[in-house]
Amino acid sequence: MPRLFVSSVALMGAALLCSSSSLAHEAKTVEVTTRSAKPKGENIFKGADMYVNPYFQEELDSSIKTASGEVKKTLQSIRGLSSAYWLDVKSKAPHVRGFALNTANYQTVGEMCPFWDYCLGGKNVNATCCDDPCKLAQQYNAGNNEMNYALLLHNKTTTLWPSFEPRFVIDTGRNGQADMRDSCSNWCNIRGAGIGHRPTVKTGSPLVDAFLWLKTPGESDGCTQILPGAEKEQCPRFDSMCMSVDSIGSLESDPRAPEAGLWFDYQIKELAANARLDG
């Protein structure tokens, strides 16, 4: 019986109702040193009936018309990816299976280390799985990448609730680049970001069910103080984080950003230019 995912931020908070997957690519398998991982139910994304999101296609088409070169090729290549799976009735997901990580964020997938605190205390600093673009290990934070964050959450969750063996999905819609932010606390329309790993269930770890595009690439995180358009209207839902030093729209040379959830043509083209679809 399928299980429901919830956000790791809210832990037992809002349910994940729409996920994405094209289930295509291989990844290196990592042996994980942890207790027996036996969640109830199978990976709901394996063999699931995914479909192409027509809204995403329609918006992509509008950007493809004005794109050129490699950016246009990348946009065309992602247009046909199956990107939606609806949990439209409660019976499809009567129980919590695990957590959705990096939702609408930009943290890199990275590689999973052999155990959760492998990179802490100055250990194994040259290991690939300890690459730490946000310098989190220096704060004794073992979640230096999303794979290690999954391992950390699994360890802590099973310690608190031994009967619950969680699984994870990771949002890879916009985490193809690692070192583009001045501060990793910035989250709004990040300049220099790229589309990450294409959706797949082949994640290289039994703890991670799938890489998915949960936040649709190309949808704005939030608006600049002045909205796009000749009218120069004030944005009624302006968030000062959308004028961070890392945000598109904070420089005079940048275009202004539309409200959250609206299509941001400039951003999708930049995401395509910096994409790493194969991880």
Q: Which residues pair with 6 in a beta bridge?
A: 15, 99
Q: Which residues pair with 49 in a beta bridge?
A: none
Do strands 85-86 and 18-19 pair parallel, antiparallel, or not at all (unpaired)?
antiparallel
Q: Is 42 part of any known ligand binding site? A: no
List the alpha helices (DSSP H) in the chain.
54-64, 69-79, 146-160, 265-273
CA dist 245 and 209 (Å) reads 34
Q: Which residues are catalytic?
A: 221
Both tokens of 107, joined, read: 């943290």
**Sheet strands (E) in the chain:** 3-7, 18-19, 85-86, 95-101, 167-171, 208-212
Residues 230, 234, 237, CA angle at the centre, nearest 5°?
Answer: 130
CA dist 142 and 119 (Å) reads 7
Nearest alpha-carbon partner for 118 in 132, 105, 133: 132
Burial (0-12, 13-18, 19+ Cβ within 10 Å), 66: exposed
Measured in degrees and rounded to the nearest 5, phi and psi for residue 194 equal: -140, 155
CA dist 199 and 218 (Å) reads 16
Q: Is 219 part of any known ligand binding site? A: yes
Q: Is 187 part of any known ligand binding site? A: yes
Q: Residue 11, SS3?
A: coil
Q: Point out the annotated binding site for substrate.
A: 187, 215, 219
Q: Point out the annotated binding site.
A: 187, 215, 219
